[in-house]
C-alpha cells in the first residue's frame, strides 16, 4: 500500500468494524471479539459491552480497525499520540479495559 490518503470509504470502514483480542487478567485466557457492519466507535462500544459480559476480569490486549492497520503499514503510529487501544476505549470512556503500558501518557 503506498503512502497517501486512507484508501477506504466510510462505508467500507464500517463494514470491517473493529477486532479486539481480550485477555483475562488472572488466567491469561484470550478471547477474540469481532464486530463488523458498524463504524469503529460504535463497534468499540459493542466490544466493551461484550467484554463486560465475559466472566472474570478482562482487558483489551489488541485493538484493530482498517485505520489502525493502515497507519501501521504506513509507519504512522509514531505520529499518533497514544496506543490505538487507549485512543479507542478512552474515546468511549472505558480506559478501565486498557492496561497501562510502560511509558504511556494517559490524558483522559
Of residues 80 and 65, more confidence is placed in: 65
- pLDDT digit string, tens, across residues 2-36: 456 777 777 877 788 899 999 999 999 999 999 99
Q: Does position 78 have pLDDT exceeding 90, yes or no? A: no
C-alpha separations of 41 from 13, 92, 102 in Å: 11, 8, 25
Is the CB of residue 51 less than 8 Å from the CB of residue 44? Answer: no
Three-state DSSP state, 24: strand
Amino acid at each position: 500500500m503506498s503512502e497517501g490518503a486512507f484508501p477506504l470509504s466510510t462505508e467500507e470502514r464500517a463494514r470491517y468494524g473493529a477486532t479486539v483480542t481480550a485477555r483475562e487478567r488472572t488466567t491469561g485466557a484470550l478471547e477474540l471479539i469481532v464486530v463488523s457492519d458498524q463504524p469503529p466507535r460504535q463497534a468499540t462500544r459493542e466490544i466493551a459491552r461484550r467484554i463486560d459480559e465475559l466472566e472474570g476480569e478482562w482487558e483489551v490486549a489488541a485493538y484493530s480497525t482498517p485505520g489502525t492497520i493502515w497507519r501501521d503499514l504506513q509507519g504512522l503510529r509514531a505520529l499518533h499520540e497514544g496506543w490505538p487501544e487507549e485512543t479507542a476505549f478512552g474515546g468511549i470512556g472505558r480506559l478501565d479495559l486498557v492496561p497501562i503500558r510502560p511509558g504511556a501518557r494517559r490524558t483522559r
